[in-house]
Chain A
Amino acid sequence: MLNNPAPVIYQNMMRAMQNEQENTKPVVERGGLLGPKKSMATKNTSALNEPANRVMEYMKAIQAKRQELKDNGNS
């Protein structure tokens, strides 16, 4: 019986973050008149509407802070 779901949820979220980083492709700018504007191309509102994606963003922010702390401690 699973008593504590925290490790499973955390690891799934970490895996999703890694997959997201691997799957994100750089936006190619097109110079044509009819090409989409840069702001429109990078805007991805539907992804941020998902709570899990927002949680991922919060995790990234805190992880960056932890990494910063570690780097400062090592140097």
Chain B
Amino acid sequence: MAIPSKPNAPLLDGPIPGQNLTAELGSRPWQTPPQFTTVEEALDYYIPRLQADEVTEQLLDVLEMGVPVTTVANTMQLASVMEGKHSVDVGMLVLPVLIEMLMLIADTAGIEYETGLQKDRTKVRGSLVSKALNRLQSEGDEEEEMPMTMEEPEEEEAPEEMTGGLMSRRA
């Protein structure tokens, strides 16, 4: 890839739109018929792999780092779809079982992990804080730019209310 001469110069030798469709149909693993077509076959593929010591250790490390279980499960099924192991539909069906399985492994190891199922609204994202600060700053700048001589609108006299009683004076 060519290095742009200026920092903000556009990359002109990137993939062009539609380039992903230029490969021969069926040359990619996900374009071929999937290896496992049922949920049972897919689970027979996943569960022994998850129970392997080497994989379990790596998995526990990742979960201890704070990566949510749902993210790990989704990544696993997505990778298998890319490898042509199973279809996207089977991947979606397998997802809840994978999540449960990962939580079981983590519970067995006795580690603390994040499920990724509940939205933690108490945490404030850093990007949100910076966005609010930027907005506050821009509002402050606008206020400084605005002229301070604001003419107050003249108060209009309120029209007299017409009383409709029998004994009231005629207009």
Q: Which residues of A contact B (CB under 8 A)?
A: 4-7, 9-11, 13, 51-52, 54-55, 58-59, 62-63, 65-66, 69-70, 73
How many A-B pairs have beta carbons closer than 8 Å: the answer is 60
Taken together as a complex, chains A and B put the C-alpha atoms of A66 and B97 apart, in Å, by 13
A59 touches B96 (CB 8 A): yes
Q: Does residue B101 face the partner (Cβ distance < 8 Å to A)? A: yes
B73 touches A6 (CB 8 A): yes
* Residues in B neighbouring A63, C-beta threshold 8 A: 100
B104 touches A69 (CB 8 A): yes
* Besides the known contacts A4-B116, A6-B99, A58-B100, 4 further A-B residue pairs in the complex with CB atoms under 8 A apart: A6-B95, A10-B117, A62-B101, A69-B107
State whether A66 and B73 are in contact (beta carbons under 8 Å apart), knowing that A7-B116, A10-B117, A51-B39 are contacts in the complex: no
State whether A9 and B104 are in contact (beta carbons under 8 Å apart), knowing that A4-B71, A55-B39 are contacts in the complex: no
Shortest Cβ distance from A10 into chain B, in angstroms? 5
Q: Which of B43, B74, B92 contacts A58 (CB 8 A)?
A: B43
A66 touches B107 (CB 8 A): yes
* Residues in A neighbouring B116, C-beta threshold 8 A: 4, 6-7
Q: Specify the main secondary structure of chain B where it touches its partner.
A: helix
State whether A59 and B74 are in contact (beta carbons under 8 Å apart), knowing that A7-B116, A10-B117 are contacts in the complex: no
Q: Does residue B70 face the partner (Cβ distance < 8 Å to A)? A: yes
B104 touches A65 (CB 8 A): yes
* Residues in A neighbouring B81, C-beta threshold 8 A: none
Q: Does residue B63 face the partner (Cβ distance < 8 Å to A)? A: no
Closest to B119 in A: A7
* Residues in B neighbouring A69, C-beta threshold 8 A: 104, 107-108
* Residues in A neighbouring B111, C-beta threshold 8 A: none
Shortest Cβ distance from A68 into chain B, in angstroms? 10
* Residues in B neighbouring A66, C-beta threshold 8 A: 100, 103-104, 107
Convert B8-37 into 0s and 1s, putting 1 for each residue whose CB lies closer than 8 angstroms to a CB of A: 000000000000000000000000000000
Shortest Cβ distance from B97 into chain A, in angstroms? 5
* Residues in B neighbouring A62, C-beta threshold 8 A: 97, 100-101, 104
B117 touches A9 (CB 8 A): no
A10 touches B107 (CB 8 A): no
